[in-house]
Amino acid sequence: MPAVGRSVPRKDAWDKVTGRAKFVDDYSAPGLLYAATVRSPIAYGRIKAIDTSSALAFPGVKAVFLAKDIPGKNVNPLVYDDQVFLAADEVRFHGEPIAIVVAENPEAAYAAADLVKLDLAPLKPVLSIREALDSDSSRIYKDNNVFTEYTITKGDANKAFSKAEKVFEREYETPYQEHAYLETQGMMAVPGPEGQMTVYGSMQCPFYVHDAVSQILGTTRNKVRVVQTTTGGGFGGKEDFPSIVAGQAAMAAQLLQRPVKLIFKREEDIIASPKRHPGLIRMKIGTDCQGKLISADIAYYVDGGAYATLSPIVLWRGTVHALGPYVCENVLIRSFAMATNKVPCGAYRGFGSPQVIFAGESIIDEIADELGIDPVEIRRINGLKLGDSTATNQKIDQSCGLMETIARATAAADWKKNWRHPSKRTEKIRKGIGVSTIYYGVGLGAGGKHLDRAGASMTIMKDGSVSCAVGNTEMGQGARTILAQIAADALGASYDLVNVIETDTAFVPDSGPTVASRTTFMSGNALISAGKELKTRLLPIAKDLLGAGETDEIEIIDGFASFKNPAKASKIAFQDLVKEMYSRRLMPSSFGWYVAPDTSFDKKTGQGDAYFVYSYCTNIAEVEVDMETGEIKVTRLISAHEMGKAINPQQVEGQIQGGALQGLGYCTMEEIRHDSSGRMLNNAFSTYILPTVEDSPEIVPIIVEHPYSEGPYGAKGFGEVPLMGIAPAVGNAVFNATGKRIRILPIKPEKLVDC
Ligand code: MTE
Ligand code: MOS
């Protein structure tokens, strides 16, 4: 049987559950030193002087490094190249790194970090989207505090409102979300001979780290090697930020010519690492009386924090997805990433879209309610079907399973029977049911087109086992397993004999970041191309060993070569083909390279084929709300996902389960609080409240497959989607139970009881 489509066991499962997996902090090196970070105690100010003398005098301390010690360039290369590795003249957020203290042990490094004396002149910070927009506030970025803005114009939204029978205007707000990966940020840098630097660590994007380390050291990339160690979760939080940590560790290692490890404590990780952008979304939607969308005018603002980092890309994705998976001929979407004096926000599963999805899927529910239409029906009426066009005027010409996800989810929920109008609910504990439908562009799309390629190498060893190297990373999502399944089928080898090694920049050229749910599609296609090449060498051998004639068709599947004609029963084991391959001295390795299908986006109008393909999902949430206490219990989440093809159904279900729980936290619990000076108050797991298994409802994953012609075995990718539509489904269920519409996340008991 082919490996694709089977729930084969994960490659990394045993090591992870038995504790054998080695995370970066489990590694050591001879002469290892430990680093700690000195951070800004204020949100905004000028650095007047730094006194390191007491820190340097602390027993065990080797050095204290400042921005001026950086041998290369003090800026992390990303989109705008604006975030510094160490603050030089000014600090722009509370927690920003200013100095790196290196010592013989971590305790000394942290103790000495407290002894570095900072002389800072505070400036008036900008602490929210609204403050950043206010013309009386400080200008901290250009003359408008706007890092990036986009516009999408389709038809004429303003004019079309006059044709609408109903116009709805609402405002929604969404909070920060902390990734809360189990393993904190960490890196170990080991200097080698001839100016070599090897960096080991927890990361999603080894090639970003590669760029950053080369830049801070001022050295060529062939002197730098980045090895990803087992990564305890990323969720987007290890996209850009590990570059900063790696850069700092590598700088210290280079200057001291000794290995240096920099591992974050949880409290500093929450303060200093990126989060999901807080969002402010204003929606104006015009419809006819049957609920058909006529016109949409959407304004979307995100709080980018102190540096632009990934905001331009996060905002772009949010902008493209702001209308949701609906047909509307007149659309105006304007979006802005605002500069504030808070931690730079970045990628988090969904990349700027959960914010607009919460707004869009809430307002569509509000429209349905006011027009007296079933919430599922309004989505059926407006939802994308084959041949329809998106807000960017992209025609959906294949692999569009949105309607089937609606059908499958509503059937599983027995929607027609269970949905009642909120006014009909009068009990103290009230049940409610809510729905959301979403779509998601897979891969980097037109916004990151120049990075959208991937490589993979494949070597068949003498014994028939196969080793593959890819440029995307495993961070818990199951990539090494899924990619081994794809590689196995591409070659015809058995899954058990195929291994995909942890990502190492020495083995694969820059394959872009591991983000945007692109791994299965991009690395999968690269492996297929590598496998195809090797198969052209294996097939003639199989023909010879099977004694096949000219017209006989041969196939190699799951470790055996055989005749396609079932009447001819003889088989040759893959290992025997390989033995022959080696004795014929044929090249047993190959390299695959895959470039993403074309995309387009006109910056002026926001029109074009923004992504090469979309995945689809419908969520249904069932809740119980205690009308006295406001307590919300989510009792069941039904998630129907269409991802082209489920390479490993069990992994798909795992992604749905985990993502749904993160979505639940986003909706009902998680928030970051700051004091009036911009200092984060709840930077610990005891104060930043997350869902645990105790809060987990029954989650019903449903897999829908509409294969995509360009996908590896039809797969598209969907790793982020499970989180994205949960918040509005739960919010809509809460409305259905209580008649109360909460437009500011999280939906907490006090909001239900007070409003
Ligand atoms: N699942 C686990 N267990 N751990 C993670 O860090 N990251 C998510 C998602 N699922 C993540 C995860 C995010 S943000 C992305 S972009 C995708 O996985 C990336 O993996 P993929 O490209 O293989 O879908
Ligand atoms: Mo995922 S937010 O694209 O790393």
pLDDT at 746 over 60: yes
Q: Which amino acid is at 750?
A: E
Q: What's the pLDDT tens digit per position in 446-469?
A: 999 999 999 999 999 999 999 999
Does residue 12 form part of some domain? no
Phi first, then psi, for residue 749 (nearest 5°) are: -50, -40
Using the 3D structure, point to which of 543, 567, 595 is the last residue of a domain.
595
Three-class secondary structure of residue 252 per DSSP: helix
Phi first, then psi, for residue 489 (nearest 5°) are: -70, -35
| CA 242–ligand 2 middle distance (angstroms) | 14
Q: Which domain holds residue 291?
A: 279-390+398-446+602-754
For residues 283 and 169, the answer to whether their CB atoms sit within 8 Å is: yes
257 DSSP 8-state letter: T
**348 ligand 2 Cβ < 6 A:** yes
**Same structural domain, 723 and 645:** yes
**720 ligand 2 Cβ < 6 A:** yes
d(CA 617, CA 666): 18
Q: What's the pLDDT tens digit per position in 357-392?
A: 999 999 999 999 999 999 999 999 999 999 999 999
pLDDT at 755 over 60: no
CA angle 97, 102, 108 (to 5 degrees): 105
- Residues with Cβ within 8 Å of residue 437, at least 6 apart in sequence: 324, 325, 361, 379, 383, 402, 405, 406, 616, 617, 618, 619, 725
Ligand with an atom nearest the CA of residue 715: 1
Cα-based distances in Å from 572 to 255, 461, 462, 560, 740 = 57, 17, 16, 6, 67
Ligand with an atom nearest the CA of residue 651: 1
**Same structural domain, 98 and 55:** yes
Preceding peptide of 9 cis, ω within 30°: no
**Same structural domain, 438 and 476:** no
The helix-helix angle for 726-738 and 353-371 (nearest 10°) equals 30
Q: What's the pLDDT tens digit per position in 614-644?
A: 999 999 999 999 999 999 999 999 999 999 9
| Structure-token pair, residue 585 | 């001295």
Percent of the chain at pLDDT > 90 equals 98
Q: What is the pLDDT of residue 126?
A: 98
Q: Would you tell me how many other CB atoms lie within 10 Å of the CB of residue 693? A: 6
Ligand with an atom nearest the CA of residue 275: 2
Q: What's the pLDDT tens digit per position in 482-541?
A: 999 999 999 999 999 999 999 999 999 999 999 999 999 999 999 999 999 999 999 999
For the sheet containing 197-201, what is the strand order?
A: 61-65, 97-103, 33-39, 260-263, 186-191, 197-201, 224-228
Q: DSSP labels for 289-300? A: TT--EEEEEEEE
| Structure-token pair, residue 284 | 């104006």
Residue of 207, 239, 273, 724 to test ligand 2 pocket, by largest number of atoms within 8 Å of CB: 239
The residue to which tokens 């397993």 are assigned: 481
Q: What's the pLDDT tens digit per position in 274-286?
A: 999 999 999 999 9
**351 ligand 2 Cβ < 6 A:** yes
Ligand with an atom nearest the CA of residue 346: 2
For the purposes of burial, counting CB atoms within 10 Å of the CB of 381, is it exposed (0-12), middle (13-18) or buried (19 or more)? Answer: middle
**Same structural domain, 558 and 412:** no
| Structure-token pair, residue 59 | 């027993």
Residue of 349, 483, 650 to test ligand 1 pocket, by largest number of atoms within 8 Å of CB: 349
Q: How high is the mean pLDDT of the chain? A: 97
| CA 477–ligand 1 middle distance (angstroms) | 5
**475 ligand 1 Cβ < 6 A:** yes
**Same structural domain, 82 and 197:** yes
d(CA 727, CA 747): 9
Residue of 202, 470, 477 to test ligand 1 pocket, by largest number of atoms within 8 Å of CB: 477
Q: Which amino acid is at 559?
A: G
| Structure-token pair, residue 301 | 């603002």
**Same structural domain, 294 and 441:** yes
**464 ligand 1 Cβ < 6 A:** no
Does residue 365 form part of some domain? yes
Q: How many domains does the chain have?
A: 3
Cα-based distances in Å from 376 to 15, 164, 413 = 44, 21, 12
**445 ligand 2 Cβ < 6 A:** no
Half-sphere exposure of 580 (CA within 13 A, CB side): 16
Q: What is the pLDDT of residue 410?
A: 98
| Structure-token pair, residue 140 | 């901290």
- Residue 641: which of 613, 616, 614 has the closest Cα? 616
**236 ligand 1 Cβ < 6 A:** yes
**Same structural domain, 241 and 290:** no
Q: What is the pLDDT of residue 421?
A: 86
**Same structural domain, 207 and 86:** yes
Ligand with an atom nearest the CA of residue 318: 2
More confident residue, 420 or 238: 238
Cα 353 from chain centre:
11
Mean pLDDT of 668-677: 98
Using the Cα atoms of residue 153, residue 156, residue 158 and residue 162 in order, give the sign of their dihedral.
Answer: negative
Q: DSSP labels for 654-723? A: HHHHHHHHHHHHHHHT----B-TTS-BS--STTTS----GGG--EEEEEEE----TTSGGG----TTHHH
**366 ligand 2 Cβ < 6 A:** no
**Which pairing describes strands 260-263 and 279-287: parallel, antiparallel, or unpaired?**
unpaired
Q: Whose CA is nearest to atom 8 of ligand 1?
A: 235
| CA 517–ligand 1 middle distance (angstroms) | 7
| Structure-token pair, residue 354 | 């959960």
pLDDT at 74 over 60: yes
For residues 73 and 215, the answer to whether their CB atoms sit within 8 Å is: yes
d(CA 303, CA 283): 18
CATH of the domain at 578: 3.30.365.10
For the purposes of burial, counting CB atoms within 10 Å of the CB of 16, is it exposed (0-12), middle (13-18) or buried (19 or more)? Answer: middle
Using the 3D structure, point to which of 563, 595, 627 is the last residue of a domain.
595
Does residue 171 form part of some domain? no
For residues 498 and 463, the answer to whether their CB atoms sit within 8 Å is: no
Using the 3D structure, point to which of 561, 595, 629 is the last residue of a domain.
595
d(CA 545, CA 81): 57
Q: What is the pLDDT of residue 679?
A: 98
**476 ligand 1 Cβ < 6 A:** yes
Residue of 349, 474, 520, 662 to test ligand 2 pocket, by largest number of atoms within 8 Å of CB: 349
Q: Give the atom of ligand 2 at the shortest distance from the alpha carbon of 517.
A: 3
**516 ligand 2 Cβ < 6 A:** yes
Intra-chain end-to-end CA distance of the chain, in Å: 58
Confidence of residue 423 (pLDDT cuts 50, 70, 90): confident
Q: Whose CA is nearest to atom 4 of ligand 2?
A: 236
**Same structural domain, 373 and 297:** yes
**Same structural domain, 343 and 195:** no
**349 ligand 1 Cβ < 6 A:** yes
| CA 615–ligand 1 middle distance (angstroms) | 15
| CA 516–ligand 2 middle distance (angstroms) | 5
Q: What is the pLDDT of residue 424?
A: 77
d(CA 248, CA 69): 11
The residue to which tokens 């001819």 are assigned: 568
| CA 530–ligand 2 middle distance (angstroms) | 26
| Structure-token pair, residue 349 | 């599963």
Q: What's the pLDDT tens digit per position in 333-353?
A: 999 999 999 999 999 999 999
For residues 616 and 642, the answer to whether their CB atoms sit within 8 Å is: yes
CATH of the domain at 55: 3.90.1170.50
Ligand with an atom nearest the CA of residue 448: 2
**Same structural domain, 561 and 639:** no
Q: Give the atom of ligand 2 at the shortest distance from the alpha carbon of 237.
A: 4
**520 ligand 1 Cβ < 6 A:** yes
Q: Which residues, in sequence order, are bridge partners of residue 674?
A: 680
| CA 515–ligand 1 middle distance (angstroms) | 7
- Residues with Cβ within 8 Å of residue 332, at least 6 apart in sequence: 151, 152, 153, 154, 157, 158, 296, 297, 298
pLDDT at 754 over 70: no
Q: Whose CA is nearest to atom 1 of ligand 1?
A: 477
Q: Give the atom of ligand 1 at the shortest distance from the alpha carbon of 719.
A: 24
**294 ligand 2 Cβ < 6 A:** no
Residue of 442, 520, 662, 720 to test ligand 2 pocket, by largest number of atoms within 8 Å of CB: 720
**Which pairing describes strands 632-642 and 698-704: parallel, antiparallel, or unpaired?**
parallel
Does residue 273 form part of some domain? no
**Same structural domain, 656 and 523:** no
Contacts 24+ apart (CB under 8 A), 554-562: 555/492, 556/491, 556/492, 557/1, 557/2, 557/489, 557/492, 558/1, 558/2, 558/3, 558/488, 558/492, 558/493, 558/494, 558/495, 559/492, 559/493, 559/494, 559/497, 560/492, 561/492
Kindly report the length of the chain.
755
Q: Which residues, in sequence order, are bridge partners of residue 201?
A: 187, 228
**239 ligand 2 Cβ < 6 A:** yes
For residues 249 and 85, the answer to whether their CB atoms sit within 8 Å is: no
| Structure-token pair, residue 587 | 């090249």
